[in-house]
Amino acid sequence: MRTILITGPGGSGRSTIAAATAQAAAGTGTRTLVLGSDRGDTLGAALGVVTGAAPVEAAENLTAWRPDATESFRADLTAFQDRASTALELLGAARLDAEELTPLPGAEELALLRALRDAALSEVYDLLVVDLPPTPHALALLALPEELRRYLRRLLPAERQAARALRPVLGRLAGVPMPSEWLYDTAGRWDVELAAVEAVLADRHTSVRLVAEPGPAGAEAVRAAGLALALRGLRPDVLVANRVLPESVEDTWLAGLNAQQRKTLDEWQGTYDDVHHVPHLGHDPRGTDDLAALAVPGVNAAGSTVEWPVTDRLAEDGVLVWGIPLPGAIRDELDLVRRGDELVVTVGRFRRIVPLPSALRRCTVAGAALREGELRIRFAPDPDLWPQGR
């Protein structure tokens, strides 16, 4: 299945572009599901339907769905109480009824990720269009599966599960209770679910599209978003410049705004491979006719994953070079810290902890440089760990 993730700054029209993209694809006979995340149902308003917990048919070959975080949260917490019933009884805790449960912060994000996974694995549709939250929240959402899996591996390492039969004995020897079986099983199930979401995001048929209105604020938002996506190994396949004014306008106020737009568009054209202009309709698009008039970019088969290659320069310079594409990065915003077999990469307000490739784990960091939008980290072989004669 082809998956298109669409995001952009708040107010940039990303939900409308997502609706128009899904409608255009459905019009070609592609079985399309568009997934929304906005509580206000902006997506449904653009399509002329009301979306909710159950998928609704918006047009021929087009289904719209807005996952219900409340029901998902209630089901998860009720199941958790069932598994932990013994521990709760020992503590004298009173169970919570499903009717009194309301979602906690983060429940909506988890519900959307679960819906994304289920939809992407479905054989009912050919295309999945996801209307992600505004860019800052969308970037945190895309990082969530990897971060949660990392936390689970640190808190409940898989190798400890091999000694299940010894846990009662170890508990008596240590004088502290050992984690129960259900806790490991729950962590294992979460890890599998999060891994499935990660697989969807890393799939070669998944791409990200940025939507922004050209101008100073849009330019900075796009730079930050592109940088954060690159840090996660993603890049936008299309930058959608939304609400573009005609090249010539008579109104004095609009002429100044148009000049700002043209300057930003020229900068984007020199930076991004594919910048698609969507003209301003003069009003907020509503209904199928307006969506069709937007002329959004088509659906291609290209993905948006980015390779982080390791280049062998041992013969020439005695180092291995790890290249991390970070377009738009500024040297003063960069920070690198090695922690064991991991590298903590910080770019401005964005951070990612990544495992080192196996060859680099036997090396020491020899330096780094930012050149032409790529962070190049040099690693020198550690004589105590590197095979002799290499």
Tell me what pLDDT residue 349 has.
87
- Statement to judge: residues 149 and 269 lie in one domain: yes
- Supply the CATH number for residue 346's domain: 2.60.40.790
State which residues form the domain around 23.
2-68+105-293
pLDDT in the model for residue 273: 84
Q: Which residue has the tokens 């005695």?
A: 318
Would you say residue 92 lies in a domain? no
What's residue 178's pLDDT?
Answer: 47
In a domain, 284, yes or no: yes
> pLDDT at position 21, please?
96
Name the token pair of 118: 């289920």
Predicted pLDDT of residue 182: 61
Please tell me the predicted confidence (pLDDT) of residue 173.
Answer: 47
Q: 373 in a domain, yes or no? A: yes
Are residue 221 and residue 335 in the same domain, yes or no?
no
**Looking at the domain assignment, is residue 253 inside a domain?**
yes
Query: 350 with 201, same domain?
Result: no
H/E segment holding residue 70: helix 69-83
How confident is the prediction along the chain (390 residues), in pLDDT tens digits per residue? 899 999 999 999 999 999 999 999 999 999 999 999 887 888 888 998 988 778 899 999 999 998 876 666 667 667 766 766 666 566 666 676 766 666 666 677 888 888 888 888 888 999 999 999 999 899 989 998 999 888 888 877 765 554 555 455 444 444 444 455 666 677 777 788 888 888 888 888 888 999 999 999 999 999 999 889 989 888 888 999 999 998 877 667 788 888 899 999 999 998 888 899 999 998 888 888 999 999 899 887 555 567 899 999 998 999 999 999 998 888 998 999 999 999 999 998 899 999 999 999 999 999 999 998 899 999 999 988 887 655
The set of residues, in sequence order, having a beta carbon less than 8 Å from that of 67 and lying 6+ positions away, is 35, 37, 53, 111, 112, 114, 115
* pLDDT at residue 193 in the model: 84
Q: Are residues 143 and 192 in the same domain?
A: yes
Q: How many secondary structure helices (H) and strands (E) does the chain include?
A: 12, 15
Are 160 and 54 in the same domain? Answer: yes
* CA distances from residue 167 to 170, 175, 177, 216, 270 in whole angstroms, order as listed: 5, 12, 9, 59, 60
User: Do residue 322 and residue 215 come from a single domain?
Assistant: no
Total domains, the chain: 2
The answer to whether residues 220 and 115 belong to one domain is yes
Task: For residue 237, tell me if it sits in a domain.
Answer: yes
CA distance 152 to 168: 22
Which of 279, 275, 21 has the alpha carbon at shortest distance from 130? 21
The reply to whether 304 falls in a domain is: no
Domain boundary among 293, 321, 336: 293
Residue reference for tokens 């040297």: 331
- Map tokens 């609400």 to a residue: 243
Does 316 lie in the same domain as 287?
no
Phi, psi angle pair for 281, to nearest 5°? -85, -10
Q: What pLDDT is recorded for position 295? A: 87
Are 134 and 196 contained in the same domain? yes
Closest CA to 297 of 201, 207, 200: 207
